[in-house]
Amino acid sequence: MSEKKRLTKLPTIRRMPMYLRMLTKVQKDGMLHVSSNYLAEALDLEAIVVRKDLAVAGILGKPRVGFEVTAAIAAIEKFMNFNSPSDAVLVGAGHLGQALLGYTGFVKLGLNIVAAFDSDPGKCGQVHDKPIYPLSEFSERCKDMNIHIGILCVPGRFAQEVTDLMVAAGLKGIWNFTPRKLNVPDEVVVQREDLAEGLAELSVKLSRMSGTEV
């Protein structure tokens, strides 16, 4: 029903982890309620943005009181499906790969990295309590574990090759940390993560600051 219900805009979606983090902090601090104004201040946003975003996740506040912290946390987790984490695998256990592998915060955001793969046998073994397998075992293990999400941390020149492997193993989503465009079938989702974008933004903001307009 309501098949054509309006799709939530992406900027709002992308802000959800921020709200969740801040609400959790605020909860730890013992606050039972929080105003949009408080959250906005703490997150460098406008209060109206916070209210609109929370409304999207089904969170309504009370005038004079604000938003109930615990309920808001629960609502975001439900809305974003953070409570039923998906298992994921990572390919490319270099520094970046290991950094992601060791980051414990993803589980709270619905992502559970269960294993990594690397073509270098020397990298195989155990890192951050996560097993690293030879890439040759990729397809078999993914199917065994019923994996749907892959994290791509290999050098750019191997990006498409490993992507093909991921698609063949039945993965449905690829988090792409290489600066390459990946060719995938329509039913596979690719999320690019290109640090160069942020760097470009930073340097332009800096030159604007110092007067060297761009």
Partner DNA sequence: TAGATTGTTAATCGATTAACAATC
For residues 48 and 130, give the distance between their C-alpha atoms in angstroms, rounded to a whole number.
42
Q: How far is the CB of 197 from DNA (least distance, A)?
A: 12
Residue pair 72/23 in contact by the 8 Å Cβ criterion? yes
Identity of the residue, 61 or 178, whose beta carbon is nearer to a second copy in the bound complex = 178
Verify binding: residue 52, a second copy, rule CB under 8 A: no
Q: Which two tokens stand for residue 140?
A: 């078999």
Q: How far is the CB of 136 from a second copy (least distance, A)?
A: 25
Cβ within 8 Å of residue 80, ≥6 positions away: 13, 16, 20, 57, 109, 110
Amino acid at 197: E
Verify binding: residue 109, a second copy, rule CB under 8 A: yes
Identity of the residue, 53 or 138, whose beta carbon is nearer to a second copy in the bound complex = 53
**How many residues would you count in the chain?**
214
Identity of the residue, 79 or 158, whose beta carbon is nearer to DNA in the bound complex = 79
The one of a second copy, DNA, none whose footprint includes residue 209, by CB under 5 to 8 A per kind, is a second copy
Identity of the residue, 54 or 101, whose beta carbon is nearer to DNA in the bound complex = 54
* Residue from the set 21, 33, 130, 141 that interacts with a second copy by CB under 8 A: 21
The one of a second copy, DNA, none whose footprint includes residue 59, by CB under 5 to 8 A per kind, is DNA
Verify binding: residue 19, DNA, rule CB under 7 A: no
Nearest CA to 42 out of 26, 59, 53 is that of: 26
Verify binding: residue 106, a second copy, rule CB under 8 A: yes
Partnered with residue 127 across adjacent β-strands are 130
Verify binding: residue 28, a second copy, rule CB under 8 A: no
Q: How far is the CB of 119 from a second copy (least distance, A)?
A: 18
Residue pair 75/19 in contact by the 8 Å Cβ criterion? no
Q: Which two tokens stand for residue 113?
A: 């990295």
For residues 87 and 66, give the distance between their C-alpha atoms in angstroms, rounded to a whole number.
35
Q: State the residues that interact with DNA by CB under 7 A.
A: 9-12, 35-37, 46-49, 51-52, 54-55, 59-67
